[in-house]
Structures are given as C-alpha cells and as structure tokens.
C-alpha cells in the first residue's frame, strides 16, 4: 500500500471521541513515517487535542453550526458561506491524499465531498450529491450505530480499521504537561492531601442527563470511600458546581471539590495522581484511561461498555443490562430506572476490590443475581478490545449473539479465522434464510454479468426486477427478525457505495455484495451451531 504524505482526520464530535482517536494517529504515524497529519476538530472540544501526540496541525471549526446558519438565510447565510468557502480553499491547498471522516453528520459529509481528496474513508458525498460511506470499516461503524445492542467492537478499533489497522497499541495517548501537574499538585496540597494518601476521583457530570448517576448515589459512594480511608475528589466542569455542593454535603470533610477548578491539562494530571476514577461514560473517563488511571465505569441508559468502554486493560465496568438497554439517543426516557440499578454498595465494592487488585472479589460481585453485569476490559489475541464478563461462564443469548457477530465481522473484514466455539442459545434459522437469499442474489447477479452487453434490454430488465424483489424480501426479513439487521444494513450501505457505471460494472458490484452477505450469514450459522462455514468470494471487501 502506498504511504500517505498528507493526512486529514475530521472528528467533529466530543471530548472523549477525540481522545479515542489517539491510537489511530499513533498507527498512522508508524505506517506513514514523515507524513503530515492534520486534525480538524470542533472548536468547543479542540483543546484536548493539544495533549494528543502525533498531530502536526490542528484546525478548529464548528461545521454543524455553520450548516444551521446556511439554512437560516440572511446575513447568517453569507457569513457561514464565506467561512466554509475559506476553510475549503485552505484545505484544498494542502493537497491531502488521505482523509478519514470520523463524524457522521450530513454537513461533514458534504464538506469532505468538497475537498476533492483522492482517498476518503467515512462519510462523504459523490459529485452528484449522493451520500456514501466509503470503506468497509466505516460502513460497519455506521451499521453498529444503528444496531448498538448487537455491537461488540470498540469505537477505537473501528477508527483504527478505517485507517488500515495495524498492531493494537492497547491504550489511549495523552501527554500530561508540567503545568498541568503543578496545577493538580497545588489543588491537592491546598486540600491537605499527603503523598501517601490514596485518592479516588468521582466524575459527577456527563454530556447528557441520561448518562449521569443520581446525586444521592454519588453521595453515598463518596461517604463509603472516605470511611474506608480514601480521600475523594469530585471532578467535573463548572456546570457541576451545584451538584458537587450537594454531594460534598453528604460525604463530609474528606472530600475535595475540583469541579470547574482545572483546565484539561490540570484534570489530566489530577486523574493521573488518583488511584481510581469512578465515572459514567464520559470524556474524563477516557482521559483517565489515557493517563493510565484504573477505572470503575458505570454504564446505563444509552451507554454500552462494548463500544465506548475505556480503551485499556483491567478497567472494571458495571453495566445495567436491563431489557431496554441500550436506550436510543433520539429519545428521552420518562423513567430512567436503570440509573438506580447500579447501587452505591456495588460500586464501593468494585472500587475497593479494583484498587486491591482482587479479581476474585469482583467475580463474586458479578455472580450476584440481578441486572448488573461486571466486566473486565482487555484485548483478544488479535489486539482488539474486548470485555470479559466476570462471575459467569455461560453467555446469555444477547451476549452470544454479540460474540458471534464480532467473530463474523473480523472474519469478513480482517480474514480472522472463526473460533471453534458455538452458541446454541441463539436461533440460527433467520441467518440460514438470509444465507439462502444471498446465494440466490449471487446467482442472479452472476447471470446479469454473463448476459449484460449481449442480451436484450427486456432480459436485463427481467433480471433487474428479480433482484429488486429479492432486495425487498431481504428488507422484509430484517423487519421481522431484528437479529439479522446488521447483515442487511451492511448490505444496503454497500449498495449505496456502488459506483455509477454500466450494467456490467453494477452487476459485478452487486455480485460481490451478495457474495459477502452469503459469507457473513454462513459465518453466523456456523457460530450458532449449524453446519460448516461455506466458502464465498469476498476478496473485494477490503478495497
């Protein structure tokens, strides 16, 4: 593969997502020595990038806001147009040969289409204005966003896959500055913290209310930790100051309120000093992972440990695996009972056990009845992030289905062999049906390839109509069988990326898509205990 000389990364999401880009940047730097790497980030969160190593140039923007201004009209339209035009012109002049768009907004897709970069991976648009998701790892990421309960691949590994993979580094990266350490040291010294004191940080806030653990739970946890001899520091932004005051009242004298009192560099240094962080799925959780601090992560509501858990070894995650988890980002729950499924006593037990390195005690916690699952983060033999459930050896059906999909995706995208393990607790019949439909589609597309260019228009129309009916059949199966939706969604995203070409080109592309779908469906049936994996051509999948 030709090495890139100028690389653009577009990540217009939040604090934590930017940190989760750091292993990809490290991999790109190793695979493309001497390349210039530019990161385009949202100006509201770009400050964290100053601590991420490997970035040569940092550009700040707010594309989504500009998009709203363009739609508003009037002076806003003129201002936004001028700003976008200038940014496009400046980035075109850089002559990038590779772009990775980790943002999924429509505005970012249009923006990437305007830049005219030869190799764009992720969301973009064609010259005709059609949305495309280029690269199979990008399409898988989009698929798993729409089917999160069936996903078992971490966001970091999806980013790395889009960039070309490479050996896993098994960590996030953030350089803690001397100024940050001085800021944190001053804060702790003023609070009377001694060098021998063990400090546990509690991250109070999150970007959404649905990700915030109840105030009374944080208070009870902090009190239990201080009674056990730990110093407790409350972290968060300025908007958490009132929440911190409420929690501090419950905890008592040994608490340190750091909410709104540090910048990102100071927060990184403060977390680096701590023995443990207790946090929901937040940016500070990923910052703690980047500076090497152990984490007890609390996952409920829309948060899932499998896709956005802290990237590193031996973090402990408590997941409220209630029947409706994960809830959709698009709705506001009227009764977020799952936040109270994880109790202060469970978290205190997990925290003290993790600090002691007592994995047996954590397994005992995981074996208790109830909805809360206890997970340990780590990496598989291929260097891919995974969560190991503690306290049980038999996966429940939802876990088994996730594992089967994980193995299938890695077989299809990375040519990893399927594991010998099978999961008999999941019904394989829907996948058998999808495999049969896919083989029929492969046969129809093959016939279209053979007759295109020499058959009559009516013959081609007949085959086209049969393929269209087959696609409707696939969509119907997915509508009534949620378990197969990731397969059919990947297929549909692949169809969107078929280039505008003659009939022969489209027929070849369609045949390749059906071959891939058949391969994936056969992998699933094999993993669910039926027959042996059939061989199908899917060589074009890595293009």
Q: Mean pLDDT of all residues in the chain?
A: 92
* Tokens 């009037």 sit on residue: 74
The better pLDDT of the pair 168, 389 is held by 389
Read off the pLDDT band of 540 (50, 70, 90). Answer: very low
**Predicted structure pTM score:** 0.94
Give me the pLDDT at residue 393, please.
Answer: 86
Spatial distance between the Cα atoms of 335 and 5, rounded to a whole number of angstroms = 51
Give me the pLDDT at residue 455, please.
Answer: 59
For 199-222, what is the mean pLDDT? Answer: 90
Read off the pLDDT band of 129 (50, 70, 90). Answer: confident
For 227-241, what is the mean pLDDT? Answer: 95
Give me the pLDDT at residue 543, please.
Answer: 35
pLDDT tens digits along 357-371: 999 999 999 999 999
β-pairing, 276-280 vs 131-134, is unpaired
DSSP strands (E only) in 400-470: none
pLDDT tens digits along 432-471: 999 999 999 999 999 998 887 665 677 888 898 999 999 9
The domain over range 6-163 is classified in CATH as 3.40.640.10: no
- Chain length of the chain: 543
What are the residue boundaries of the structural domains of the chain, listed by start?
6-163, 178-393, 429-542
Contacts of 148 (CB under 8 A, 6+ apart): 302, 304, 307, 326
Same topology, domains 6-163 and 178-393? Answer is yes
pLDDT tens digits along 381-413: 989 999 999 999 889 999 999 999 999 999 999
For 511-533, what is the mean pLDDT? Answer: 90
The domain over range 178-393 is classified in CATH as 3.40.50.2000: yes
User: Residue 203: pLDDT above 50?
Assistant: yes
β-pairing, 255-257 vs 231-235, is parallel
What DSSP character marks residue 275? Answer: S
Residue 385 structure tokens: 């992030």
What DSSP character marks residue 92? Answer: H
β-pairing, 385-390 vs 372-379, is antiparallel
The better pLDDT of the pair 101, 330 is held by 101
Give me the pLDDT at residue 167, please.
Answer: 63
């Amino acid at each position: 593969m030709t090495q890139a000389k100028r690389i653009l990364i577009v990540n217009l999401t939040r604090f934590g997502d930017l940190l989760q880009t750091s292993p990809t940047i490290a991999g790109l730097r190793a695979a493309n020595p001497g390349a210039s790497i530019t990161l385009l980030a949202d100006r509201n969160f770009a400050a964290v990038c100053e601590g991420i190593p490997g970035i040569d140039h940092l550009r700040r923007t707010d594309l989504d806001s500009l998009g709203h201004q363009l739609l508003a009209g009037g002076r806003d339209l003129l201002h936004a147009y001028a700003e976008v035009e200038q940014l496009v012109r400046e980035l075109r002049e850089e002559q990038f040969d590779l772009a990775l768009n980790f943002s999924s907004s429509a505005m970012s897709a249009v923006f990437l289409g305007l830049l005219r970069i030869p190799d764009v991976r992720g969301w973009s648009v064609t010259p005709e204005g059609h949305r495309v998701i280029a690269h199979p790892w990008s399409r898988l990421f989009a698929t798993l966003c729409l089917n999160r309960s069936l996903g078992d691949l971490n966001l970091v590994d999806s980013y790395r896959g889009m960039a070309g993979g490479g050996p896993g580094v098994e960590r996030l990266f953030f350089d803690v500055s001397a100024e940050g350490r001085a800021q944190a040291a001053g804060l702790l010294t003023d609070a009377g913290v001694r060098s021998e004191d063990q400090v546990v940080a509690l991250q109070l806030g999150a970007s959404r209310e649905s990700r915030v653990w109840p105030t009374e739970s944080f208070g009870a946890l902090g009190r239990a930790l201080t009674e056990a001899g730990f110093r407790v520091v409350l972290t968060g932004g300025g908007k958490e100051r009132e929440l911190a005051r409420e929690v501090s009242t419950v905890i008592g004298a040994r608490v340190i309120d750091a909410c709104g009192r540090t910048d990102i560099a100071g927060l990184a240094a403060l977390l680096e000093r701590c023995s443990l962080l207790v946090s929901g799925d937040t940016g500070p959780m990923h910052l703690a992972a980047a500076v090497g601090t152990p984490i007890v992560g609390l996952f409920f509501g829309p948060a899932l440990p499998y896709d956005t858990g802290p990237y590193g070894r031996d973090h402990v995650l408590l997941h409220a695996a209630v029947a409706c988890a994960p809830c959709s980002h698009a709705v506001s729950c009227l009764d977020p009972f799952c936040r109270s499924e994880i109790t202060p006593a469970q978290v205190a037990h997990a925290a003290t056990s993790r600090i002691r390195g007592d994995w047996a005690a954590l397994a005992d916690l995981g074996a208790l009845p109830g909805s809360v699952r206890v997970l340990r983060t780590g990496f598989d033999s291929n260097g891919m992030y995974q969560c190991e459930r503690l306290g049980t050896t038999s996966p429940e059906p939802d876990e088994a289905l996730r594992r089967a999909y994980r193995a299938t995706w890695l077989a299809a995208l990375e040519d990893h062999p399927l594991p010998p393990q099978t999961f008999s607790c999941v019904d394989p019949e829907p996948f058998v049906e999808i495999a049969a439909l896919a083989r029929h589609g492969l046969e129809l597309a093959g016939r279209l390839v053979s007759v295109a260019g020499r058959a009559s228009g009516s013959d081609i129309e007949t085959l086209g109509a049969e393929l269209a009916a087959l696609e409707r059949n696939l969509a119907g199966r997915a509508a009534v069988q949620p378990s197969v939706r990731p397969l059919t969604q990947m297929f549909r995203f692949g169809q969107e990326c078929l280039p505008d070409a003659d009939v022969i080109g489209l027929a070849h592309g369609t045949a390749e898509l059906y071959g891939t779908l058949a391969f994936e469906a056969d992998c699933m049936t094999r993993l669910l205990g039926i027959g042996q994996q059939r061989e199908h051509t899917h060589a074009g999948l890595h293009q």
